[in-house]
Amino acid sequence: MSEETNLKIGVNNELMRERKRWGFFGIPWTFTKYILTEKKIIIQKGLLRSTENEILMYRVTDMELSRTLFQKMFGIGTLTVYSHDKTNPTLEIKNIKHVREFKDTLSDAVEKDRIRMKMRQSEIVDGAYDFNDHHGDDMDF
């Protein structure tokens, strides 16, 4: 089995799906979903008025996992994702159940997408890579 098929791929190339939970007791009484695919993080919010936003995997630069005492008690956590995305440069994925698994899956997907895009970390960190002006043949969205 190739390295690329090691990730569990579900419907619509989903790697993982989590739902924001209510702060106490970890109950999913919110209308926010976080979906990881091979190429992007999708954030869906709302009930009466829905919005959907996405961050392309290769734009993610760093992530931080944190858990308060209450989050530890109820088995939830928060993952902060830092990126070069214009609308979500800092995305807080709050109060999700499988926060460590979500972080590990995201980290693997980011690395695989950077390899696919033939990008080095220094191109992202140093700002040498211009996300808006690159029109190379290796980019297939």
Express each pLDDT in 102-127 by its tens digit: 999 999 999 999 898 887 655 555 55
58-62 average pLDDT score: 94
pTM of the predicted structure, to 2 decimals: 0.72
| DSSP conformational letter for 138 | T
Q: pLDDT band for 88, please (50, 70, 90 cuts).
A: confident
The answer to whether 95 and 111 have CB atoms below 8 angstroms apart is no
Residue spans per domain, the chain: 3-123
Helix, strand, coil percent content, the chain, rounded in steps of 5: 25, 30, 40
| Amino acid 121: pLDDT | 56
What is d(CA 126, CA 93) in angstroms, rounded to the nearest whole number?
26
The answer to whether 100 and 54 have CB atoms below 8 angstroms apart is no
- Domain 3-123: assigned CATH number: 2.30.29.30
The predicted-structure confidence for 35-59, as pLDDT tens digits, reads as follows: 999 999 999 999 899 999 999 999 9
